Structure 1
Amino acid sequence: MQLHGLFTFQLSRDTMIDREQVYQHPDQVIDIKDWEVHRDYEVFPVGAREKSLRVCPDNPPFDFCLPGHRYLFKESIKSAKHQDQPRYPDQYWAELIAFRIGKMMGLRLPPVFVAIDSTRNEPGTLNEWFMGYSNKGDERFLSGGDYMQRRIPSYDREKGKQHNLTTIIELSRVLQRARWLNQDWLHYWGLCLCFDALIGNTDRHQENWGLIWEESELKARVRFTPYFDNGTSLGHELLPEKMQRMIHDHNELNAYLRRGRHQMRWTANDQQRLPLIGGITRYCNQYPEIRPILIEHLGRLCEDNLKTMLFDLTRFDLPHPLTQQRAEFIAFLTLTRKRLLLQALEN
């Protein structure tokens, strides 16, 4: 089941940008037991992880929660054999860490917080919906899958094998020529590929990006969504013994890094998906003017700040906590990918 242009909310872009500055401290775990389900979405119908669309109460638990706003509560992926048990119990941390890394890079991402449903002792993340902030204009969200189907008549939305960057670029150019697009698509997709390669996100499928249309009396305007749904990343699937081996065995680490691929191809007919770092190289060869911009944003990710942030997250008291071992591995993996990305971009 897909959502096709379902959400029509009121939004202020400036408010979204302001919200990126919010910060959750270890003593501020959100309990959503009394948060109402938004309309009929007790189970949100997009994606592999369990999600429910919740509404923040009028008296929010912390000042960084917006009363009356919508949030996706996302749990870790459940085991195929035991649906009551998570396959990767601490996966939810990847969503929060990816958000904080994106902030360090100066990217636009919807705020993410850790939370718990105490009625089930189920931890997860609260992902702030990137629309519905104010009454400054009617806006409508359409997912990337809607556009892929329109531009590729045979597009299989269930499998998404034809999801490709060439069609996305063609769409972006159409919007630019019509003077509807109010942002630089070249920067947007370059930074998206760079961010996904840095965190190892292999899940940027057609439902994990989209366009926000703003209707006015003068002219329709459109922009791409902020980068959302980034939790299939940061080695979340690796067990502790595997992490330990990869830190000390360069061959095993390099093999793991080579397997990483974007959830899109360069063209619809390509046999293979784009490699995470190879995709950046190909994009920069096509559009060399983006190269210094990606290098500058990668440079904002400071090793000390990254490690301090990760240590802070180990202090949260939640089921399946972020362990010191996993925090150290995420720092190691991310800094390794940063180094490889800079080498690819600077050569």
Structure 2
Amino acid sequence: MQDPERGEFSIVHISADQSEDLEQLGTKPKFWFRHNEQRTLFKAENRGTGEDWAEMIAGEICDAIGLPHVSYQLAHETQKDLPGVICVNLAAKPLTLVLGNQLMLEADSTYPANTEQNYGVREHTVGAVAEVVEKLAPPPSDSCWQPTHKCHTAVDVFVGYVLLDTLIANQDRHHQNWGALRHETTWLAPTFDHGAGLARNEPDEKRARRLRSANRRVEMSAFARRAASGFYGSVSDRKTLRSLACFHAWQAIRPIAAGHWLEHLERISRQDFERIIDRVPASRMTPLAKEFTLELLLINQDRLLHPGSSHP
């Protein structure tokens, strides 16, 4: 499964002595430092739950699909012996990052943006978010994303973010895990923070039980269907939408853009997924985790491309 052209992901070695200041958002040890003359964030994977490899695989999938995204590199903090990832500052001056909760508050003064709660915010509905994203400019063109006649607005691109969430079983698209960049104009930010995806915290013993089951496909499909999204269908809903239902809700808003992203997804082969997963060093991801992740991606790809199949 080794990709002869690209090989394993490299690991950048850094020290906490390089820290400039502490990052406030989130719960993991993290700090800013200078790397290749750019302000860069180190996020530790100190709980052994696979957030580092999940972030790397998600980024490679973004490349394959053509989604604008924050690029991550595997890293190792030598002072405290912490694995993790690094990424360049998304909002280098003069840009400002405006997170989703603040964008929602700008549109609706009653939106609960300033609570410490990221989850369970029922006002974070597909419709309300779509109305806010509709007012944003699309992300600037880059080497990954170029506007087309099928996909050229911020909402069109956001539909791709939701497709990604469904594919990688990312349940963490709460209102601080999307946003906009602002300087004179305000445009949709690249997608970021995918470390909660790919069932990365599932223990190997549970992975093995599902993979070795006589009904492997049924077991894995049932597991995939449980993934929830970060969006509510309406403010009266008690739970967020399941991930595939969430994509279908966004697809109804922008069917042509959804078709664009589905076409891109269909071009990714099993071998492509294998090559991406195999780039993760064995020191970061177990063989069982790799096998499980591949199966999960293939099932979710099938669910997205063939919604009437046996994997609803």
TM bucket normalised to smaller: 0.7 to 0.9
Match of 2:116 in 1: 158
Match of 1:32 in 2: 14
1:91 to 44, 51, 58: 51
Mapped pair 1:171 → 2:128: no
Matches within 5 A, 1:262-341: 262-315=229-282, 318=283, 321-341=284-304
Q: RMSD of the TM alignment (CA)?
A: 2.6
Seen in structure 2, the aligned counterparts of structure 1 residues 225 and 293 have a Cα distance that, compared at 3 Å, is: same
Seen in structure 2, the aligned counterparts of structure 1 residues 174 and 125 have a Cα distance that, compared at 3 Å, is: closer
Give the secondary-structure state (helix, strand or coil) at the position aligned to 1:159: coil
Seen in structure 2, the aligned counterparts of structure 1 residues 47 and 117 have a Cα distance that, compared at 3 Å, is: same
5+ residue gaps, structure 1: 1-22, 57-66, 79-85, 177-181, 216-220
C-alpha separation in 2, matches of 1:116 and 1:306: 25
Give the secondary-structure state (helix, strand or coil) at the position aligned to 1:127: strand
Q: TM-score, normalised by structure 1?
A: 0.75
Q: Which amino acid aligns with 1:312?
A: R
Match of 2:34 in 1: 55
Mapped pair 1:46 → 2:25: yes
Matches within 5 A, 1:1-347: 26=8, 28-33=10-15, 36-38=18-20, 40-41=21-22, 44-56=23-35, 67-76=36-45, 86=47, 88-132=48-92, 138-150=94-106, 151-155=108-112, 157-160=115-118, 161=121, 162-175=123-136, 184-215=153-184, 221-247=185-211, 248=213, 249-315=216-282, 318=283, 321-344=284-307
TM superposition shift of 1:106: 1.3
| Percent identity of paired positions between Structure 1 and Structure 2 | 22
TM superposition shift of 1:25: 5.3
CA contact (8 A) 1:190 1:283 kept: yes
Where relative contact order (Cα < 8 A, 6+ residues apart) is larger, the structure is 2
Q: Which amino acid aligns with 2:112?
A: Y
5+ residue gaps, structure 2: 138-146
C-alpha separation in 2, matches of 1:205 and 1:253: 25
CA contact (8 A) 2:244 2:304 kept: yes
Q: Which amino acid aligns with 1:173?
A: E
C-alpha separation in 2, matches of 1:267 and 1:197: 19
Seen in structure 2, the aligned counterparts of structure 1 residues 198 and 298 have a Cα distance that, compared at 3 Å, is: same
Q: TM-score, normalised by structure 2?
A: 0.82
C-alpha separation in 2, matches of 1:304 and 1:265: 35
Give aligned pairs, total. Answer: 285
TM superposition shift of 1:24: 7.9
Give the secondary-structure state (helix, strand or coil) at the position aligned to 2:279: helix
Q: 1:148-207 CA deviation, whole Å, 9 max, x = no partner? A: 23315151532231322222222233447xxxxx95023112101100000011111111
C-alpha separation in 1, matches of 2:166 and 2:109: 26
